[in-house]
Amino acid sequence: MTKEQPLDDTMMEVREDFMLSPAGDSKLTLRTAHFLKPIANTIEEPAFEVNPFSLSSSVFDPKKWSLSIHFNGWCHPQQKWLSWVDQLKLRYENMWKKVGIFEAIMSTKCKILKNENLLLGVVEKWCCETNTFVFPFGEATITLEDVMVLGGYPVLGDSVLTPLEDKEMREVEKKLILARNELSKSGWPTTSLWMDIFIGKGSEIEHEAFLATWLSVFVFPPKRMFVKSCLFPIAVHLARGNPIAFAPAVLASLYKDLSFFKKTIVDLSKYPVGADSFPLVISIQSPFYLVQVWVWERFKNLQPQPQTMLISQGVPFLFRWHKVKDLKMDNADVTTRYAKWWKQSVLGHENLVKNIAKRRRSESSSKHRQANISGNDVDVPLGFPPKV
């Protein structure tokens, strides 16, 4: 490749061809299309081997297994939180920048719209042993740099487990604990009620309470929207200007949830579609929106149109994806030759997979009848409730 020869000329061919939708339900249209090289000239040319059993693992549908996914770390900010951020920014912006959390705090004003299908597709490629996504072209993964750039989390500072050794700092922690205990007496210590007792009340520990809310809602959220007392020491450290390295802890939580998510998919996929289903709810605790933003940033062909008007000097990187809607691929047509190859090579294998699943469903039903006779639940997966 010479300097004058653009990269696209070596990777892509632009020409006219008859195109139709992948489903084959549209009218043939002769138009200009883009083709990645190398390009097969005839349908008889071998393109790649199709593993019929790999097809079933790439079309996981959570609804077929009654799977409900709660993304607890994917929060859309309340108005009272947005107002609190703006109020305290006037006083503590320099402090937040000093400890490296300014961008992470300001990023909480973003609203990242979830694309669950995209997340399921990429999670299926996750390898729990290597903490990498295994794609056909190689391995890739989310790094500390990604967490720092995309989420604004610092990589430098003390551990999130650093204890409070100063007496004055421990006294502040006690005041936070006392406030939480008082809140618990009248009900659950939810983050919403927690904000109500501190916003605009002139409390001497308002900044620490604000940081504890940020940590509990956006960084290390619990299964329920409660303020976590175990995060109070971190809030106290930050309020005193002590940097904390959040990026390693956030990355570890993403890896943990990716592995948990993947194992759930694998375990459920072992049971035939259409057999007796077991309702299952899983909770993803980490800021999982970073996975979706990472995919958008790394794979341009899956990327919707990012925001440009909101981006300016000093605005967090995450605002590129504020309220950005999913990518629509209504015009992703294919050639007639590709449609014919797909029908012959792939759909034939897909029918094979369906026949295998049908046979397994029959076997499962037979086992189920035997189990009811014997009084055992032999076909109930480990960890699921017995059938009634």
Beta-carbon neighbour count of residue 220 at 10 Å?
20
Average model confidence (pLDDT) across the chain:
78
Q: Is the pLDDT of residue 192 over 50?
A: yes
Mean pLDDT for the stretch of residues 277-282: 70
In whole angstroms, give the CA distance from residue 261 to residue 244.
28
pLDDT of residue 269: 74
As to burial, measured by CB atoms within 10 angstroms (0-12 exposed, 13-18 middle, 19+ buried), residue 342 is middle
Mean pLDDT for the stretch of residues 206-222: 94
pLDDT of residue 379: 37
Q: Which of 38-47, 96-105, 126-135, 279-288 has the lowest mean pLDDT?
A: 38-47
Mean pLDDT for the stretch of residues 182-188: 83
Q: Is the pLDDT of residue 112 over 80?
A: yes
Has this prediction a pTM greater than 0.75?
no
pLDDT of residue 345: 53
Q: Is the pLDDT of residue 76 over 90?
A: no
Q: Is the pLDDT of residue 49 over 90?
A: no
pLDDT of residue 289: 96
What proportion of the chain, given as a percentage, has pLDDT over 90? 44
Tokens of 377: 């639940």
C-alpha distances (whole Å) from 97 to each of 87, 93, 104, 147, 196 are 16, 6, 10, 17, 26
Confidence of residue 352 (pLDDT cuts 50, 70, 90): very low
Domain ranges of the chain: 64-321
Q: Is the pLDDT of residue 239 over 90?
A: yes
Q: Is the pLDDT of residue 339 over 70?
A: no
Confidence of residue 29 (pLDDT cuts 50, 70, 90): confident
Confidence of residue 344 (pLDDT cuts 50, 70, 90): low
> What are all long-range contacts of 291-300, with beta carbons under 8 Å and residues at least 24 apart?
291/119, 291/122, 291/123, 291/142, 291/254, 291/258, 292/112, 292/114, 292/115, 292/118, 292/119, 293/112, 293/150, 293/318, 293/321, 294/142, 294/146, 294/150, 295/118, 295/122, 296/321, 297/150, 298/140
Confidence of residue 1 (pLDDT cuts 50, 70, 90): very low
* More confident: 49 or 302: 302
Mean pLDDT for the stretch of residues 140-169: 95
Beta bridge partners of 35: 13
